[in-house]
Structure 1
């Protein structure tokens, strides 16, 4: 094999190695992407079935139900137009309250129930995630 052919072989091997590394990196990043949806978008069918996503809005007043052990919690998340039932098993953040902003991560189950794996509550009275604030504004603007 001539030196020129050997050099070409090394260059091709490097290109294949770089392409493989880029493909694996993009696949790993794509697996960790989690999109945000409002209750109105969930009811419109825009949210994926069986895939993880984030749901944001307000905890509906009077909707929080806790189990006797206090580990299982059911509540409604609303954007003041539509609402979605959320089931969560675990400890809630200290700032979790009815009427306050919340973002939950998990998967939508078939009968319209969102099974949450993580609950994030707003940290002070002036803060709401930008996505949740925009979803509330959009929901109010719709006729």
Structure 2
């Protein structure tokens, strides 16, 4: 009788382990399209992503590159000091979007142009996403707002 209890306990543990593995795999499979990786312009130029891969790009809007007036489509370039990536975006840009300011865009990279579906701009003069700051620091072009 004691061995029957032991067998049952081992079976329950085995079923629980299999259920945990299957549920983890299903969660990972369901989230594969919802994960957007961040890339800097230098990373994109060094290793271009596939045309269907959705990711985020961040950097500074290059001065003199902002072109408006082609309907709702806006063209500009994003730089991290080491590379420049042209961007197109159809829609209304955030109010604080400007040249020489930090931005993060979500979209795809097709034919050498980042086609953005969403653009985020800084929310005050000191804020910039951590990933953008890290990328700019790597290139040696980041200056902290307080001068440090």
TM-score for both structures, normalised by structure 1 = 0.81
RMSD, aligned CA: 2.3
Q: Distance in 1 between the 2:27 and 2:46 partners?
A: 33
Q: Deviations over 1:53-100 (max 9, x none)?
A: 11110011111112343x111100011221100011111111101110
Local SS of the residue matching 1:31: coil
Which secondary structure state, in structure 1, belongs to the residue aligned with residue 99 of structure 2? coil
CA gap of 1:39–1:68, structure 2 versus 1, over 3 A, is closer
Give the secondary-structure state (helix, strand or coil) at the position aligned to 2:117.
strand
Instruction: Tell me if 1:19 matches 2:21.
Output: yes
Q: How does 1:1-143 map to 2 (within 5 A)?
A: 15-45=17-47, 47-50=48-51, 51-69=53-71, 71-109=72-110, 111-140=111-140
TM-score, normalization by structure 2: 0.79
- Greater displacement, 122-131 / 14-23: 14-23
- Gaps spanning 5+ residues in structure 2: where? 142-148
After TM superposition, where is structure 1 displaced by more than 3 Å over at least 4 residues in a row? 7-19
